[in-house]
Amino acid sequence: MKNTLKQVFHSPKFVVGFVIFAFMLLTIIIYPIISPGDPLQMISKGSFLKPGIYFSVYDSINTESKTIDLPDANAKRLTNKLSDTDKVSMVQWLTAVGVPAEDIDMQDSSSLIKLWQEKYDPTAKPEGMTMAQRNFYKRLDKSLDNALNEQPLVVSAQNTETQSLDEIKKISDTDYVNLSDVPNVKVLPLGTDNFGDDVLKKLVSATRTSLIIGLIAGSIATLIGLTLGLLAGYLGGVIDDFIMFITNLFTVIPSFVLLILISYSIGQDKRGASTVAIVIGITSWVWTTRSVRSQVISLRNRDHVNLSKLSGHSLFSIITKDILPYIASYVVMAFILQISSAILAEASLSMIGLGPKTADVSTLGLMMDWAMSYSAHLNGAWWAYFPVILVIALISFSLNLMNTGLDQVFNPTLRD
């Protein structure tokens, strides 16, 4: 056993896959401890908040501020306020008054503003420009001047006695607060989804649920396939014919179609994560059965098996002691592939609305379904779907890499 493990962990492919998979397992165990709470709790009223650090504006007003004079603060502030539409309008005016197009860089907001201040003349009347357009540019120029010469913001509160607004604080453009002094700060590394849920917290929970579904479904499929394959391969005859008839019947009907029909017949209210896992498991055993059967057929007439038969050993004893140890490595590889296939099957089912109940748990497939249903890909909310795709790919990649590494260790034809 020790030498076998040593050989396994000397396989570079297995080690890489194992490290990736172990890292994901540690993440789904440790992260809920670091960031506890319900992953399905709605924390924002707006959907698809960008990744970043959010702090309470209300609390920041009451936080002691410090004066910091940054040389490029106004330029950054102005660049942030300048929309793409404003930039296009400025370029159009500059071009109309004869500024060469090669001297205008719309991507560099600072140089564009500087060029605007040098060239803009409110009294100019470019050829072909209407009065309404000239008035628009006057308003744009005025808004730029106001942004460059901003006055302090006044925070007021209503006086309960006089019903008038009393000034309580002035906020200058050089006032800064230390983020650690603000009592309510929320870090959203992956923003929020369409429901206003923390995407990272939901992603960790979804990964855990999908892995559980994969483990349950993989265990069921491997157990059924192993049992039927052992019986068909060892006993042969009528039992082999009957088992292979059932196997061929399931082979003719595409497993995913069968999976869809069974999931649909169960109904949305009864489709929990465990139910979906069981359904996936009982429809995914076919190829394991056929593979195990072929392995057992090659072993059942070996000398040590015939010796056990002559010695009067029971069927259970022969299968478990004389056959199963020789195909144990293959069973482990089949189990790994079944887990990967089950996770992909759940994701596929959820994408077409036949996954677990949405109110109970989150899975990787459900997160993809929600993201696509609410057009995250069209709204530029990449954080709602790309991390999910990445996690599914990493799980599948790591498991298949582990399987390839094991195959290189235990398959004599693939050894170096």
Q: What is the CB neighbour count within 10 angstroms for residue 163?
A: 7
Highest-pLDDT range among 112-121, 127-136, 399-408: 399-408
CA nearest 200: which of 57, 85, 30, 59? 30
pLDDT of residue 161 exceeding 90, the answer is: no
C-alpha distance from residue 123 to each of 131, 134, 191 (Å): 11, 9, 47
Which residue in the block uniquely carries the two structure tokens 């370029």? Answer: 91
Rounded Cα distance between 344 and 396, Å, is: 8
pLDDT of residue 416 exceeding 60, the answer is: no
The pLDDT assigned to 326 comes to: 84
The pLDDT assigned to 69 comes to: 84
pLDDT of residue 148 exceeding 80, the answer is: no
The pLDDT assigned to 359 comes to: 67
User: Higher pLDDT residue, 166 or 190?
Assistant: 190
Rounded Cα distance between 191 and 54, Å, is: 10
Q: Which residues pair with 52 in a beta bridge?
A: 188
> Are 292 and 227 contacting, i.e. CB atoms less than 8 angstroms apart?
no
Burial of 326 (0-12, 13-18, 19+ CB in 10 A): middle
Rounded Cα distance between 121 and 137, Å, is: 10
CA nearest 219: which of 59, 335, 342, 313? 335
pLDDT of residue 16 exceeding 70, the answer is: yes
User: Higher pLDDT residue, 267 or 285?
Assistant: 285
**CA atoms in the 13 A half-sphere facing the CB of 242:** 6
Highest-pLDDT range among 129-138, 301-310, 386-395: 386-395
Contacts 24+ apart (CB under 8 A), 16-19: 16/398, 16/401, 17/397, 17/398, 17/399, 17/400, 17/401, 17/402, 17/403, 17/404, 17/405, 18/398, 18/402
Q: For 332-359, what is the mean pLDDT? A: 88
Q: Mapping DSSP to helix (H, G, I), strand (E, B) and coil, where does residue 273 land?
A: helix
The pLDDT assigned to 124 comes to: 82
Q: Which residues pair with 170 in a beta bridge?
A: 154
For residue 95, the one-letter residue type is T
Pairing of strands 153-158, 66-67: unpaired
pLDDT tens track for 208-246:
999 999 999 999 999 999 999 999 988 888 999 999 999
Domains in the chain (CATH in brackets) are 1-47+193-414 (1.10.3720.10), 64-187 (no CATH)
Which residue in the block uniquely carries the two structure tokens 């492919």? Answer: 13
pLDDT band at 383 (very low <50, low <70, confident <90, very high): very high
Main-chain dihedrals φ then ψ at residue 254, nearest 5 degrees: -55, 130
pLDDT tens track for 250-267:
888 877 888 888 888 887
Length of the chain in terms of residues written: 416
Rounded Cα distance between 218 and 212, Å, is: 10
